């Protein structure tokens, strides 16, 4: 498998996952204050929304790369 085919498959998989899930969340830890031995932290939950157009473009780009890679070897 060459690099173009791997990138194409990766784009398709990531695009489909983006279309299925639509968003993902992660926890960001911020340090607010440190007073002596006491350390106060805040866990802030962030949500990232993946636009539908980004998923569609990723899938279409992956398919185009697969088709281009297949036609360039002939």
pLDDT tens for 28-67 read: 887 777 778 887 888 889 999 999 999 999 999 999 999 9
pLDDT confidence of residue 73 = 61
Give the residue with greater pLDDT, 31 vs 17: 17
Tokens 């939950």: give the residue: 45
- pTM of the complete model: 0.71
Distance (Å, whole) CA 59 – CA 63: 6
Tokens 């639509």: give the residue: 22
End-to-end CA distance of the chain: 16
User: Residues for the chain: how many in total?
Assistant: 74
Distance of CA 44 to the CA centre of its chain: 20
Confidence band (pLDDT; 50, 70, 90) for 11? very high
């Amino acid at each position: 498998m060459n690099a173009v085919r791997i990138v194409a498959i990766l784009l398709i998989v990531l695009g489909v996952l983006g279309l299925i899930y639509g968003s993902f969340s992660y926890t960001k830890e911020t340090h607010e204050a440190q007073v002596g031995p006491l350390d106060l932290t805040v866990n802030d939950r962030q949500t990232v929304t993946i636009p539908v157009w980004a998923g569609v473009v990723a899938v279409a780009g992956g398919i185009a790369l697969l088709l281009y890679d297949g036609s360039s070897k002939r």
